[in-house]
Amino acid sequence: MSARIIDGKAIASALRERIGEEARAFAKAHGAPPCLAVVLVGDDPASQVYVRNKGRATRESGMISIEKRLPASASEAEVAAVVRALNEDPSIDGILVQMPLPVHIDAHSVINEIDPAKDVDGLTETNAGRLLLGVQGLRPCTPEGCVILAKSVRDRLEGLRAVVVGRSILVGKPLSLLLLAENCTVVMAHSKTRDLPEICRSADILCAAVGRPRLIEGDWVKKGAVVLDIGINRVEEDGAARLVGDVDFEAAKERAEAITPVPGGVGPMTIACLLRNTLIAAARRRGVRGPAI
């Protein structure tokens, strides 16, 4: 039987609807809507598209979107200065520095300039540490979106075996920690992992965040597994440009119970969770409870 396709676009759209309502209530109570600032350095075409989409989604949810663009030649000090100015601006609730940064800029240093209270990507040392400790903080958006999608299929994740392929700071590592917090038994796999197919076959929840088109083959998927495909890879096929994930979707859907498509799976959830984090940051900065969503 063919798998159920997890409609990330629809789930994200429902979440954004509720965030929009909360944002409007917030604006009434506090005199201004939450405000997200996105810092974009250079002119990477994929980043331009994401930043434009984020801006549109932010406005659609009744929030304010600000973009700070710098040329690819900007120095680390210049980027850091922009981030510090946003930290000090009381009208800004959330700051996101779009990755990747040009190679001459140390991403870790720039991210650490962000005020942890405005770090809606959850990437500063403070928020990463809070995730590790399991205390209140802002969580990275893509991993959060993945957990919501997994829960849309399985009410309780407790005791399930989760395999996360990829251990980046942005996706794989925080996703492993969030699944651990849900009481999954988590295996973190990466480029040095031996017997990757065998390890994947043991997964009740299989998460792929690698950045290699269709690396995960159909027969690496256990029958009845939930597959979350985080990869976004642009490939040329039959003379046309298209987006594919890290999982061989057509083959995997014959074995999985449920699977996310690319596009229309995890990607839209990342944006919805970014908006939710902006709302949470805006509320906490004013000392009120965050949204109940």
Ligand X SMILES: Nc1nc(=O)c2c([nH]1)NC[C@@H]1CN(c3ccc(C(=O)N[C@@H](CCC(=O)O)C(=O)O)cc3)C=[N+]21
Ligand Y SMILES: NC(=O)C1=CN([C@@H]2O[C@H](COP(=O)(O)OP(=O)(O)OC[C@H]3O[C@@H](n4cnc5c(N)ncnc54)[C@H](OP(=O)(O)O)[C@@H]3O)[C@@H](O)[C@H]2O)C=CC1
Task: Answer yes or no: 238 catalytic.
Answer: no
- Interface pattern 217-256 for ligand Y (x via CB under 6 A): -------------xxxx-----------------------
Give the other-Cβ count within 10 Å of 245's Cβ: 30
Q: Can you tell me whether residue 66 is helix, strand or coil? A: strand
The answer to whether the CB of 158 falls within 8 A of the CB of 186 is: no
264 binds, among ligand X, ligand Y, none (CB under 5 to 8 A by kind): ligand X
Q: Which two tokens stand for residue 159?
A: 């005791």
The answer to whether the CB of 32 falls within 8 A of the CB of 91 is: yes
Give the other-Cβ count within 10 Å of 264's Cβ: 16
For ligand Y, the binding residues in 32-61 under the rule CB under 6 A are none
Residue 120 touches ligand Y, criterion: CB under 6 A: no
Q: Is 166 annotated as a binding residue?
A: yes
137 binds, among ligand X, ligand Y, none (CB under 5 to 8 A by kind): none
Instruction: Tell which one of 42, 264, 290, 291 touches ligand X (CB under 6 A).
Output: 264
Torsion angles phi and psi, residue 112, rounded to 5: -70, -10
Task: Answer yes or no: 98 catalytic.
Answer: yes
Q: Distance of alpha carbon 19 from its chain centroid, rounded? A: 17
Q: Which two tokens stand for residue 92?
A: 């800004």
Annotate 278-293 with b (16+ C-beta within 10 A) or e (fewer).
bbbbbbbbeeeebbee
Residue 263 touches ligand X, criterion: CB under 6 A: yes
User: Which residues make up the interface to ligand Y (CB under 6 A)?
Assistant: 142, 165-168, 170-172, 189-193, 196, 209-212, 215, 230-233, 266-267, 270
Q: Which parts are annotated binding residues for NADP(+)?
A: 166-168, 232
User: Which residues make up the interface to ligand X (CB under 6 A)?
Assistant: 49-50, 53, 96-99, 121, 141-142, 232, 243, 262-264, 267-268, 270-271
